[in-house]
Amino acid sequence: MLNILKMDFYRFVRNRIMYLLLLVFCAFQIFGIFMTKQYAQEMENGGISVSSLNESDFIQYTISQPPSWMLIYIAVFSIFFYTSEFNSGFHKNYIPMHRARVHSVCSKILVLAAFVAMLFLTMLIADWIGRTLFFDNTSLGDPVYLIKLLISQFMLHWAFSILILYIVMVVKNLLVSLTAGFVLALNVIGMALSALESLVNGLHLSQYLLINTIVRVKDFNNAADILHTAAVAVIVILVFSFLAVRYKLREDLN
């Protein structure tokens, strides 16, 4: 396990695409804040004073705006990181070993957690720069609330990365995997299901979908919202980690 983990993290820290994605994300996050400043008056006329939001509220505001750019970056990295190993054929060195297959999946799940953490750190830095330059507002709000928000959203976004990992493992096609990642990031399925549910009365299951949970504005001082978020994240992480391991154990050498 340790050797495979070292190998994957070695590839991770030397992955140029990862640094490029983080740099592009940072630049576009700052540019997005600049554009928000340009339309701040129209937004405030609509009841949203974006310039006065603290960091916790600003994060929720940006994540809830479609499309979810963080999910797109996560999808792209998850797909390229897995396919770079698969296309090189390196996986054939350890795939005959039953236990090594399990370790390989667990290793990649940990690498994806590291990337998601770096993406959130980049977002915080970009938000601080952008809000300082264009809003003259660096308020973080309640630090405990911000920590709960970051942990919850980290878990949800990590769960999404594991879902994408499972998809690319099964599909083994770059274009198809990217298409699936973009469709999920755009929340096409969630919005379609929500629209259908609006036509009928009863329990609305769409609120428990992963992407719908990510983009929904939540109150992390509310125990129900925290429980909902934690349950969705943990269930998706466990289910798709299990499915990924199960698939890897049955995977052909070809």
Q: Tell me: pLDDT of 253 over 50.
A: yes
- Give every CB contact of residue 116 below 8 A, 6+ residues apart in sequence: 74, 154, 157, 158, 161
Give residue 88's pLDDT. Answer: 63
Render pLDDT for 206-242 as a digit per residue (tens, 0 to 9).
Answer: 788 999 999 988 889 999 999 999 999 999 999 999 9
Q: What is the chain's mean pLDDT, rounded?
A: 86
> What mean pLDDT comes out for the span 142-163?
95
Render pLDDT for 164-199 as a digit per residue (tens, 0 to 9).
Answer: 999 999 998 889 999 999 999 988 888 888 778 777
| Cα separation, 137 vs 132, whole angstroms | 6
Structure token digits, residue 223: 């125990």
Give residue 187's pLDDT. Answer: 87
Give residue 45's pLDDT. Answer: 46
| Cα separation, 117 vs 114, whole angstroms | 5
Where along the chain do its domains lie?
Answer: 2-250
| Cα separation, 182 vs 75, whole angstroms | 8
Give residue 234's pLDDT. Answer: 97
